[in-house]
């Protein structure tokens, strides 16, 4: 990962040379890292806010599907697809910055390599001297041993036997790790009652501040995400906003881990994490305001559509109420197809008879008498049964 570590090492070295203060250099360095990772953070924030906005719809799906988990998952996937939300979008964009943070951790942990740019042979020689001073094997030396030589290069340079190495170390400048009277190169102790001065007391306070800002950052982020939650009608849903917040255990666990790490690493790393949390809060507020404008515009459209649907439903209900008032008995006319065809045919026949009667009256003729209906069926006046034929008897009379 030197393609990341080496450039950032030069950046941190430049800030230290410009400010002549290691603590301020770390703060400015943290700010630059936040700016570089801002596109990834914005993607992650947008995805998390989108998922938060869907909490009311997810709750409705859960109630509608009941115990059918398979159907619920299918409905959730369909909802995410229609809204353009990726289930892993927030986690993915949150994971990518770790690819940068891990190398940055190494840059801060190894100042001899990345701030003073000493080669590996020289660093190994200095490591052997530090191990001898501490009376331990080189392999058992702590991860943060470079802070000691980095703070007093001239002392360790005189102990080097190789002239070229000694010259290289003498040509580098030692780093002053003091910041507000606190030695950022030291690993703090939680045994504050054994503190020998402000440096030890300040070292105890820095990890606590780091954990407190970590908690505040998570709290504000959840509040910001919940502020954009609205239902399908574009109305704010306070209940869904509260249920969408991460559990209290996670809110407590992460800050505690931050505090624990603060007591096992040099204070320089705690300063870096502390400022990352502080800048993260500012970033969260900025991104939330940016995306809230977009989501507020969406909510306006949702409310307009909801009002239109409500007006249409009210008009339908008004029509239904008018029909109920006009027909309180609820009796409806038989409108079957056969009945309708019969009424149409009878109407045509009645119209034809009326026309014929008016025609005869205009010609001075007497009204035509209705034919005698023998069978009782106007459509079959001569019917005597299924086999009846009006020609049957006529033929018999002619034969006789």
Report the pLDDT value the prediction gives residue 394, as an integer from 0 to 100: 53
pLDDT at 377 over 60: no
Provide the 10 A C-beta neighbour count for residue 357: 13
Tell me the C-alpha distance between 215 and 251, whole Å. 6
Query: DSSP 3-state assignment of 365?
Result: coil
Q: Tokens for 92, please give them.
A: 């993915």
Residues 6 or more apart in contact with residue 108 via CB below 8 angstroms: 12, 26, 268, 269, 272
Q: Tokens for 205, please give them.
A: 């306070």
Query: DSSP 3-state assignment of 185?
Result: coil
Query: DSSP 3-state assignment of 351?
Result: helix
Handedness of CA 319, 321, 322, 326 (dihedral sign): positive
Residues 154 and 116: beta-carbon distance below 8 Å = no
Of 280, 258, 277, 272, residue with least CA distance to 111: 272
Report the pLDDT value the prediction gives residue 152, as an integer from 0 to 100: 81
Tell me the C-alpha distance between 400 and 379, whole Å. 31
pLDDT at 359 over 50: yes
pLDDT over 70 for what percent of the chain? Answer: 78
pLDDT over 90 for what percent of the chain? Answer: 0
Name the burial class of residue 43, with classes exposed (0-12), middle (13-18) and buried (19+) by CB atoms within 10 angstroms of its CB.
Answer: middle
Report the pLDDT value the prediction gives residue 379, as an integer from 0 to 100: 60
Residues 6 or more apart in contact with residue 381 via CB below 8 angstroms: 371, 372, 373, 374, 375
Average pLDDT, the chain: 76
Report the pLDDT value the prediction gives residue 311, as an integer from 0 to 100: 84
Q: Which residue has the higher pLDDT, 245 or 259?
A: 259
Map tokens 């209940």 to a residue: 239
281 φ/ψ angles, rounded to the nearest 5 degrees = -65, -45
Of 288, 285, 286, 255, residue with least CA distance to 273: 255
Q: Which residue has the higher pLDDT, 38 or 369?
A: 38
Q: Tokens for 341, please give them.
A: 């065809």
Report the pLDDT value the prediction gives residue 328, as an integer from 0 to 100: 73
Query: DSSP 3-state assignment of 367?
Result: coil
> pLDDT tens digit string along 46-55?
777 777 777 7
Of 117, 107, 134, 123, residue with least CA distance to 157: 123
Tell me the C-alpha distance between 254 and 252, whole Å. 6
Where would I find the beta strands (DSSP E) of the chain? 178-179, 182-183
Tell me the C-alpha distance between 207 and 127, whole Å. 28
Band (pLDDT 50/70/90 cuts) for residue 399 is very low
Of 63, 99, 102, 57, residue with least CA distance to 76: 57
> pLDDT tens digit string along 103-159?
777 888 888 888 888 888 888 888 888 888 877 777 777 778 888 888 888 888 888
Q: Which residue has the higher pLDDT, 149 or 245?
A: 149
Q: Which residue has the higher pLDDT, 47 or 373?
A: 47
> pLDDT tens digit string along 259-284?
888 888 888 888 888 888 888 888 88
Report the pLDDT value the prediction gives residue 3, as an integer from 0 to 100: 79
């Amino acid at each position: 990962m030197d393609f990341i570590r080496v450039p950032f090492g030069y950046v941190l070295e430049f800030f230290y040379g410009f400010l002549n203060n290691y603590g301020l250099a770390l703060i400015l360095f943290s700010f630059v890292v936040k700016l570089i990772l801002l596109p990834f953070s914005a993607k992650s924030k947008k995805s998390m806010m989108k998922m938060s906005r869907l909490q009311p719809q997810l709750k409705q799906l859960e109630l509608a599907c009941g115990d059918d988990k398979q159907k619920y998952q299918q409905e959730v996937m369909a909802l995410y697809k229609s809204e353009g939300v990726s289930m892993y979008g927030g986690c993915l964009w949150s994971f990518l910055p770790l690819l940068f943070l891990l190398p940055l951790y190494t840059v801060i942990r190894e100042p001899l390599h990345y701030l003073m740019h000493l080669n590996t042979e020289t660093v190994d020689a200095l490591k052997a001297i530090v191990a001898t001073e501490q009376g331990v094997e080189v392999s058992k030396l702590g991860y943060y041993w470079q802070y000691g030589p980095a703070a007093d290069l001239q002392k360790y340079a005189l102990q080097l036997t190789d002239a070229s190495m000694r010259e290289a170390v003498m040509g580098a400048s030692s780093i002053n790790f003091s910041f507000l009277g606190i030695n950022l190169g030291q690993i703090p102790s939680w045994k504050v009652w054994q503190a020998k001065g402000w440096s030890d007391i300040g070292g105890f306070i820095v990890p606590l501040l780091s954990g407190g800002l970590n908690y505040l950052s998570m709290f504000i982020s959840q509040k910001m995400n919940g502020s954009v939650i609205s239902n399908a009608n574009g109305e704010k849903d306070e209940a869904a906003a509260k249920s969408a917040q991460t559990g209290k255990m996670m809110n407590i666990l992460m800050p505690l881990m931050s505090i624990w790490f603060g007591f096992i690493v040099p204070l320089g790393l705690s300063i870096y994490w502390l400022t990352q949390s502080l800048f993260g809060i500012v970033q969260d507020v900025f991104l939330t305001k940016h995306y809230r404008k977009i989501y507020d515009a969406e909510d306006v459209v949702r409310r307009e559509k909801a009002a239109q649907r409500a007006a249409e439903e009210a008009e339908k209900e008004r029509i239904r109420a008018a029909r109920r008032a006009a027909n309180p008995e609820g009796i409806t006319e038989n409108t079957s197809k056969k009945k309708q065809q019969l009424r149409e045919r009878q109407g045509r026949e009645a119209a034809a008879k009326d026309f014929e009667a008016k025609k005869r009256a205009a010609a001075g003729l007497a009204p035509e008498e209705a034919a005698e209906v023998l069978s009782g069926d106007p459509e079959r006046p001569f019917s005597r049964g299924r086999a009846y034929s009006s020609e049957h008897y006529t033929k018999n009379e002619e034969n006789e």
